Amino acid sequence: MEKIRVFLLVCALCVSFDASAQYVGQHRSAIKTDVKIPVKAYSFDLQDVQLLNSRFKDNMDREGSWMLSLPVERLLHSFRVNAGMLTDKKSSKTKMPVPLGGWEALDMELRGHSIGHLMSGLSFQYAATRNMAFKKKIDSLVSGLAEVQATLDEDGYLSAFPQNYIDRNIEGKSVWAPWYTLHKITAGLIDAYWYAGNAQALDVVTKMASWAYHKIIPLNEVQLALMLRNEFGGMNEAWYNLYAITGNPDHKKLGDLFYHHAVLDPLAAGQDKLNRMHANTVIPKITGEARAYELTGNATDKAIVSNFWDNVIHNQTYVIGSNSDKEHFIEPGKISKYITGYTGETCNTYNLLKVTRHLFTWDADVRYADYYERALYNHILGQQDPKTGMVCYFTPLKAGAFRLYSTRDSSFWCCVGSGFESQSKYGEAIYYHNDQGVYVNLFIPSVLTWKAKGLKLRQETAYPEEATTRLTVDSAGKESLALYIRYPSWASNGARVKINGKNIKIDQVPGSYISLNRKWKAGDKVEITYPMILHLEPTPDNPKIVAVMYGPVVLAGEMGTEAMPAHAPYHDPADPYQYYDYDYNIPANLVHSLHINNQNISDAIKPVKGEPLTFKTINTTNGTTVTLEPYYNLHRQRYVVYWNLN
């Protein structure tokens, strides 16, 4: 979250309306402006996918409990202060709420962003679980915001900070990122309407759109360019999503006004000028252009999205699926030069996964699903501390570093907010569909209900701790349907498929889909096995710096807790840029070199019997044995992800 103290703009919608991601196929009867592009894979509603017991469900439950524990009065406090709704403490008959801390403190210019993320996260949780506690909290937050909006009486403006922040942004004066914050609020309100059926949320956000339209429609091109220099999240995406709901051309025009020529025109021309750009300022803009393409069919928007994704995946992405060093894109391809303690801002991966979902629905290309799996398991899943539910801002990859987590009510970094969403919507990308069948993209224990086809499909697995996934047809309609089962690119040892216990010959190769088409009946069972092997993944610019992987899983070396600061693993700076000077105090004798190559890897690294996904090294440079386990499991201690080869 870039702290540019100069210009301005807003955010975007995080999780609900991607015509390709969340919006293509989801609650389509409620959309007044449908997509104008060919769609190869439609998303299912979150309510159609029930997570079964797994690490994913555990993460989701912990996140849900955290969100429910945050008092509504404290979340609304800064909004009410801004609207002058609170009396002097001495004369108040009710106890004043304690202000939230960190980025939500009353003296922080970004205050108010978390309530938007929270409304989105609560909405996803409600859609996925139908737990009325989530809806009750959503309704309380929306009602409170509506009251603030009415009290402000500023033509629909709604925020926890005064409108002059927007004026300062337009004038090019110093201010953090007011449009970024407004984006989170608009996105959260749209999600509350979309996923939780809160009609008041749509009324509030429509009034916000009216204010925004009259605020910026008079601006000339020079003023707009100045305004858009400041971080504005996915404000374009949010307005396009609202346009899809309302059909109001003013809402589309708002999205168009947030087209940032300086960043997007080079991408449209196929140029890679991302080096040193603030990554999470750029990525949400791409999601907005993806939404624009879906609603208009404009080929330039499609080129922007495709070119951006290809550039980032091939030139900017670390082994865990993350990107950025100190929040900025790096010199293209030079991964080995930027393995630091400040890699992998989690918001970036959250937003890039949104872009990826758009692209998958357009093309149903397995490479998008492969990336989604890598980033989901190796970065997003590991963002959360399993012991407390707290989350990371950066995901440091420097040898000997460790994760630093938020606190419950006094951090509220951008990655806390996006974490509310990421950890609440694991059901969104497991399955997709076309008219002929279901794509099984992720191997996560879950139950899919496809009402239109009469299909109920149960997926049971301990993947990636085991190589086999079992699909059971609990109910089926009368027509034939295909199961398109992802054949991961990493599965170089082949695949085995059984239907009702009988081996099935397959002709597909890794990096494709295994298609099983038949008239299914209740009780039919499919088993798919992808044997996993150890392999090394070198950095693109230096083959002597490698990560160790087992199938899709990045393994990290356990390095203990020697010399870790007393406060670790928690860190609560008001300013995230304190991270840039953070001292991990890494011991000088820390081992991060191996005598190994892909030919001898099975001799140099041995599995630990009875401990899935756990291995021991044989050939470290000083002879020390190191335990390797999944990076997503390695919390509260030092680790090594990238190793030097000798």
pLDDT for the residue numbered 578: 65
- Label residue 79 exposed, middle or buried (CB < 10 Å: 0-12, 13-18, 19+): buried
Confidence of residue 86 (pLDDT cuts 50, 70, 90): confident
Decide if pLDDT at 518 tops 80.
yes
Span 52-61, average pLDDT: 98
Q: Which of 298-307, 480-489, 559-568 has the lowest mean pLDDT?
A: 559-568
Q: What is the pLDDT of residue 96?
A: 84
User: Across the chain, what does the average pLDDT equal?
Assistant: 92
Q: Which of 11-15, 33-37, 596-600, 618-622 has the lowest mean pLDDT?
A: 11-15
List, for residues 193-225, the tens digit of each pLDDT value: 999 999 999 999 999 999 999 999 999 999 999
Could you state, in order of their start, the residue ranges of all structural domains in the chain?
28-429, 432-463+468-529
Distance CA 375, CA 125 (A): 21
How buried is 407 (Cβ within 10 angstroms: 0-12 exposed, 13-18 middle, 19+ buried)? middle
Strands 468-475, 525-529: parallel, antiparallel or unpaired by DSSP? antiparallel
At residue 556, the pLDDT reads 98
* Sequence-distant (≥ 6) Cβ neighbours of residue 169 within 8 angstroms: 7, 8, 9, 175, 178, 179, 227, 230
468 burial via Cβ count (<10 Å: 0-12, 13-18, 19+): middle
CATH for the stretch 28-429: 1.50.10.20
Q: Is a pLDDT exceeding 50 seen at residue 349?
A: yes
pLDDT of residue 20: 39
Per the model's pLDDT, the better-predicted residue between 75 and 596 turns out to be: 75
Q: Please write down the HEC assignment for all residues of 536-586.
A: EEEECCEEEEEEEEECCEEEEEECCCCCCCCCCCECCCCCHHHHHHCCCCC
User: What is the average pLDDT across 595-619?
Assistant: 92
Q: Taking Cα atoms as reference points, which of 586, 589, 585, 597 lies closest to residue 624? A: 589
For residues 392-420, average pLDDT? 95
For residue 119, give the nearest of 49, 46, 183 by alpha carbon. Answer: 183
Q: DSSP for 157-171, please give it.
A: ---SS-THHHHHHHH
Q: CA torsion angle for 271, 276, 282, 283 (degrees, to 10)?
A: 90
% of the chain surpassing 70 pLDDT: 92
Sign of CA dihedral 204, 95, 65, 67: positive
Q: How confident is the model at residue 21 (pLDDT cuts 50, 70, 90)?
A: very low
- What interhelical angle do 113-129 and 72-82 show, nearest 10? 140
Can you name the residues that pair with 617 across neighbouring β-strands? 605
The Cα 64–Cα 630 span in angstroms is 24
Burial of 515 from C-beta contacts in 10 A (0-12 / 13-18 / 19+): middle
The confidence score (pLDDT) of residue 273 equals: 97
Q: Which amino acid is residue 115, in one-letter code?
A: I
Banded model confidence at residue 32, pLDDT cuts 50, 70, 90:
confident
Percent of the chain with pLDDT over 90: 87
**Strand, helix or coil for residue 271:** coil
pLDDT digits (tens, 9 = 90+) for 106-155: 999 999 999 999 999 999 999 999 999 999 999 999 999 999 999 999 99
User: What's the pLDDT tens digit per position in 565-605?
Assistant: 777 676 655 555 566 678 899 999 998 999 888 888 999 99
pLDDT, average across residues 268-289: 98
Q: Looking at residue 33, what is its pLDDT? A: 78
- Work out the pLDDT band at 23, boundaries 50, 70, 90: very low
For 443, which DSSP code? -
Superfamily of domain 432-463+468-529: Golgi alpha-mannosidase II (2.60.40.1180)
Q: Tell me how far the alpha carbon of residue 8 is from its chain's centroid.
A: 23
pTM, rounded to two decimals: 0.94
Q: State how far the Cα of 620 lies from the Cα of 568, in Å rounded to an integer.
A: 27
Cα separation, 160 vs 145, whole angstroms: 10
> What is the structure's pLDDT at 28?
47
pLDDT band at 8 (very low <50, low <70, confident <90, very high): very low
- From CA 243, how far away is CA 224, in angstroms rounded? 21
For range 11-36, the mean pLDDT: 50
What DSSP string runs through 102-126?
GGGSTT-TTTTHHHHHHHHHHHHHH
Rounded to whole angstroms, the Cα distance separating 149 from 17 reads: 24
Separation of alpha carbons 641 and 398, rounded Å: 8
